[in-house]
Structure 1
């Protein structure tokens, strides 16, 4: 019996791989972030997705922390900031932070990454410059502006991470937690019991609680700025 002839495929017939580059590594890591979260963005998994060895990546990025910074900046490329105008500076600040929190919530993995890395690149600089400009319009300058911006961004990231985690695990878990607070012992935990409704209040549609948090932080920044200048 004659053996069937094996079809030999030349390696040259395969589609050529896109040359490895900093941009390709960051883009691939971002796609893995959206699919698997930060756990999917390891150097090993990024290298596997690119059909190369992890050591090849270190030619372009020093380590995972640096890669995370670039990936976060890449994600911020989708952020649409409101136009800077001569109008109310506080309103512009709120609108910018609202756009930022929505981006972090809507893009899988980005909220989690924003709590682990400091973005580096033109997109992050664009956001920072916008916020500093608005704060300066409000008379907040120097250290108060720099530290205040950092505090506001951290607050937004934490809110986005909580909402992203809640949508991932479902509302039932949050409902169970709320029921536990509502059933708290009024003798042992009188304040928790008396505020059991307020602890979970804040319209998520109007973002009343989110804006309240920004207002509280901003009032503190304004006060600290006044003390610094006195």
Structure 2
């Protein structure tokens, strides 16, 4: 029986009451501070000041705990809008916001479909907004938006982690790399790259995300209209 259907143990008088919700909230707090390496049933039990065996009555494995954590975050990813385009944009933007708030989420989205109730609610809202559109268009369109969001937010989180590891933000890294690029471009071997670096727009992550999302939604709209 999956964790979504398995009942919790009955309440009993103990010095430290437990629940799945309390366990998950504690795991979220640990992950938000120190990443997924800080999350295990043993570490969560220690944070709750209980023995690890008590947690197994509520959550059988670390994988179940991670699934519950992802679904808890999805409670805040509820797309809204009056059209399929507004709903898909809202889904993309709220997912990005959630990943920025919970950096570890970037490592868990994009695999097998999440089956928790909050995640299913999000999927239902998204697909309901596309009622009337042929399913042969809906399925790849939704997959394309999901792939775009996952790739974009993982790139942003990778950059954030690189800044922490190197001690240099993006502008500092660009300044340090600039002389090398200028010497390389002076050889004339990379004229297209040189033009983009020197003359192209320098967008921040939010602008890049929004414009790229518009390109994708424009393409979906053109396919639906056609």
Q: Please, what TM-score do these two structures have when normalized by structure 2? A: 0.70
Unaligned runs of 5+ in 1: 1-14
2:42 to 35, 40, 44: 44
Which residue of 73, 76, 81 corresponds with 1:75? 73
Q: CA shift at 1:52, angstroms?
A: 4.0
Q: How many residues align?
A: 205
CA RMSD between the two structures:
3.4
Map of 2:144 onto structure 1: 151
Matched position secondary structure for 2:168: helix
Quickly say closer, same or farther: Cα 1:92–1:80, change in 2 above 3 A. closer
- Which whole-Å CA distance do the structure 1 matches of 2:140 and 2:56 have between them? 32
Deviations along 1:93-119, one digit per CA (max 9) or x if unpaired, are 223322221222123433344356753
Q: Distance in 1 between matches of 2:179 and 2:119?
A: 42
CA distance in 2 between partners of 1:108 and 1:173 (Å): 17
Contact 1:26/1:71, CA 8 A, preserved across alignment = yes
| Counterpart Cα distance in 2 of 1:116 and 1:32 | 22
**Equivalent position of 1:178 in the other structure:** 174
What's the counterpart of residue 15 of structure 2? 16
CA distance in 2, matches of 1:47, 1:56: 8
Is the contact made by 1:72 and 1:110 (CA closer than 8 Å) also made in structure 2? yes
C-alpha displacement of 1:77: 1.6
1:160 aligns with 2:161: no
Deviates more, 1:186-195 or 1:34-43: 186-195
Looking at structure 2, the residues matched to 197 and 128 of structure 1 have their Cα atoms a distance apart, in angstroms, of 42
Question: Structure 1 145/43 Cα, relative in aligned 2: closer, same or farther at 3 Å?
Answer: farther
| Structure 2 CA distance for aligned equivalents of residues 93 and 114 of structure 1 | 17
After TM superposition, the runs of 4+ consecutive aligned structure 1 residues lying more than 6 A away are 223-227
Written as runs of structure 1 = structure 2, the 5 A alignment for 1:56-75 is: 56-75=54-73
- Indicate how the Cα distance of structure 1 residues 43 and 192 shifts in structure 2: closer, same or farther if over 3 A, else same: farther
Number of the residue aligned with 1:129: 124
CA contact (8 A) 2:88 2:145 kept: no
Kindly name which structure, 1 or 2, has the bigger radius of gyration based on alpha carbons.
1
5+ residue gaps, structure 2? 1-13
Q: 1:65 to 1:198 in 2, by over 3 A?
A: farther
Correspondence for 1:25: 23
> Cα offset for 1:199?
6.8
